[in-house]
Amino acid sequence: MPHRYPFLLVDRVLDFEEGRFLRAVKNVSVNEPFFQGHFPGKPIFPGVLILEAMAQATGILAFKSVGKLEPGELYYFAGIDEARFKRPVVPGDQMVMEVTFEKTRRGVTRFKGVALVDGKVVCEATMMCARSREA
């Protein structure tokens, strides 16, 4: 995965089955840089970054399942549908992302994703990624 700090939002892969699913974790620290402004006195992990963490987990599953990349290729986040936020994520939470392969059509792979804290759903979405050459 090409992401690095401070934008690497997957700390560890917990479980994985090629072509089926991946489970990963993000330990949410009070030291995350965005908490200074989101929100002062009441830090909440931004919803778009929950989606990004799920998208990064999706990218790992895609890379491990769909095939090796050619030089100059990347997996790009191609779309998101039905994103729903159920509850906030705060410092000290351990967010578990579970992504499941659904299908590939015309070079776009669809995945179902869910993020959980303490076994409770905080976010769910359908995500798509596509394999493409770097611009």
Active site residues: 38
> Mind spelling out the 3-state secondary structure of 81-94?
EEEEECCCCCCCCE
Whole-angstrom distance, CA of residue 93 vs CA of residue 64 = 27
> Which tokens sit at 122?
């905080």
In whole angstroms, what is the distance from residue 129 CA to residue 127 CA?
7
